[in-house]
Structure 1
Amino acid sequence: MTPKEKYRQICREAGATGLVLLLLIIMWCVLGFGLSGSDTLIFGLPLWAVAGTVGIWLLAIFLTFILVKFIFKDMALSQPFDKNYIEKETKE
């Protein structure tokens, strides 16, 4: 993998992780505040509290699995020093 390809992959992974974080924050607000009017209790706790904690925790695990399975790639971030490669990159 060339350094440019590695950089693009790193940016792709960071962007996808940011989107997952944004989705988790939105879902936390929806589940926490959206269910606050419900009188349903689970183990003596209001539904919004369970959904806003355990539900988000489970969603985060699922989305992390999706990121690891489909977005992230295993790649070496270190590269041996090659003077010819550096000279070639600076000319482009």
Structure 2
Amino acid sequence: MRRTFSTYGAKMRQANREAVATVVALAVIVAVWFVGGIGLAGCGIEVFSTPIWIIGGTIGPWVAAVVCAVVLARCVFADFSLDDDAEAVSDAASAGATGAEGEEARRG
């Protein structure tokens, strides 16, 4: 499903939502890294002669990053152009509007 944004302000709000969600995803990945690596450092569990904190500190954040990327791509990110609509610009050009009138026509 492609979302549409009618104004430049709406596009900027979406870009801000995407940026905030990306920072939240980074915080989740760092938390997984701390819990999986440092949090498990005290236990003596080993898997194939490798301490569990090494596995938790490397594979855990990788899995978290993949999950975060999929969630961001499916639920948060939207595909849109930051340029003004091409139709409004071409309409203004074809009408021969100049100066302030042309600027108004380009803005929509």
TM over 0.5: yes
Query: Does residue 84 in structure 1 map to residue 89 in structure 2?
Result: no
Unaligned stretches of 5+ in structure 1? none
1:1-92 aligned within 5 A: 1=5, 2-79=7-84, 80=86, 82=89, 83-84=103-104
Query: When the two structures are superposed, what TM-score results if normalisation uses the length of structure 2?
Result: 0.72
* Separation of aligned partners in 1, 2:64 and 2:17: 21
Cα 1:22–1:33, aligned 2, differ >3 Å: closer, same or farther? same
SS at match of 2:42: coil
SS at match of 2:80: coil
Relative contact order higher in (CA < 8 Å, ≥ 6 apart): 1
Q: In the comparison of the two structures, how many residue pairs are matched?
A: 88
Q: Please tell me the residue identity of whatever aligns with 1:29.
A: F
Query: When the two structures are superposed, what TM-score results if normalisation uses the length of structure 1?
Result: 0.83
* Identical counterparts, % of pairs: 32
RMSD: 1.9
* Separation of aligned partners in 2, 1:18 and 1:64: 12
Unaligned stretches of 5+ in structure 2? 90-102
Render the CA deviation track for 1:26-61: whole Å, top value 9, x for unaligned.
221111111001211223221011111111101110
Large movers: runs of 4+ above 6 Å: none
SS at match of 1:37: coil
* Separation of aligned partners in 2, 1:27 and 1:72: 23
Q: Please tell me the residue identity of whatever aligns with 1:12.
A: R
